[in-house]
Structures are given as C-alpha cells and as structure tokens.
Amino acid sequence: MDTSVFKEFTTNINTVDKLNELLTDASEAETTSFASSAKHLSASIKGKVSKKFEEIIRNLEARNELPKSPEDRSKFFEGLKEYLQKLPRISLELAFNPTEKFVNKISNFLKEGSDSTPILDIQVKPNILAGTTIEKDGVFKDYSYTTRLDQILKQKYSQRTNENV
C-alpha cells in the first residue's frame, strides 16, 4: 500500500497523545465506513472525530484519494493505523511541564535531517533536575542533571571526607 497519503494525517502529529487521538479517529472512521452507506464519509464522521481529521478526509474525498467502497475504506484506515503505530518514537523525560510551543521546537529539531517526524512520548519527572533522558529503540541515555549532580556531589563529598580523615 502506498503510504505517502498517510503522511498527510501525521502533519503536526508529534506526541503520543496526539497520535492516540488520531488512532481513535482512524478506528472511528474504519467502523463508520462499514456502518454508513453515505457517499461522503466526511459527512458520516462529522462530530465523531476531530475537525482536523474530518478536514483531511474531506480533502482526500475531494481528490478522490479515499476508496469509495466500505471494504476498501476499511482497509485504508486499517493501513493508516498500522502506519501510525510503526512511526518512530522517542521517549523523553523532562523536569518541567513543556509548552506545546517547546514540544514543537523539540519535534522540529528532531525532524531536521530526518525523513520522518518521531513521535514524542514526554513524561514529566522533576527529580531529573534539568536536561532530559532519552529512550529510542530500547536504548536509554541519561542527559539529565541529576546524574551529573550526583557525580559532582560524590566527588566533592569524598574529597571532603578524605580531607577529614
């Protein structure tokens, strides 16, 4: 299946929360595809999905890029869900609650020089002090300041302890 059409759905989808909303919309559209005999799916899903999703469907219908039969539409959305679930993900831990603007900044930074936009799974962990931890493809790296602070404290503390001995 040509997945290029799916990229339109992922525009501005850069977090797990947004991805989950999109997956929910895709599931709703898939279900509606069977239940509705309406010519335009966008009309059937109106109010049931996000405006953004409805708008994308409407645009696909206008360009005749959305299958017309319920079965084919169902397969289309099934393919969309598979595509979304396979998007690269990066888990980040931040010490503060980031604004959407800052999340977008991170997303854009990660997108630079890359073919796809990674989906950010951001957890707020004040105990990391500052910086971030990153987990990608099962590999974890700590770029937070808590480890650095512990290292500095241990160094300073052991120095002082040794001086006192």
Instruction: Tell me which residues touch other proteins (CB under 8 A).
Output: 90, 94-96, 98, 102, 105-106, 109-110, 118, 126-127, 129-132, 134, 136, 139, 141, 143-146, 149-150, 153-154, 157, 161
User: What is the secondary structure of 52-109 as a DSSP string?
Assistant: HHHHHHHHHHHTT-S-SSHHHHHHHHHHHHHHHHTS-EEEEEESS---HHHHHHHHHH
Tell me whether residue 64 or residue 97 sits nearer to other proteins (CB atom): 97
CB of 27 to other proteins, least distance (A): 30
Residues 6+ apart with CB under 8 A from 36: 44, 70
Which amino acid is located at 54 in the chain? E
Report how far apart, in Å, the C-alpha atoms of 106 and of each of 48, 121, 127, 133 are: 31, 12, 21, 13
Scan for tokens 């997303």, then name that residue: 107
Tell me whether residue 44 or residue 133 sits nearer to other proteins (CB atom): 133
Tell me whether residue 69 or residue 109 sits nearer to other proteins (CB atom): 109
CB of 114 to other proteins, least distance (A): 9
Tell me whether residue 83 or residue 143 sits nearer to other proteins (CB atom): 143
CB of 143 to other proteins, least distance (A): 4
Residue 67: exposure state from Cβ atoms within 10 A (0-12, 13-18, ≥19) = middle
CB of 123 to other proteins, least distance (A): 13
Tell me whether residue 12 or residue 155 sits nearer to other proteins (CB atom): 155
CB of 165 to other proteins, least distance (A): 9
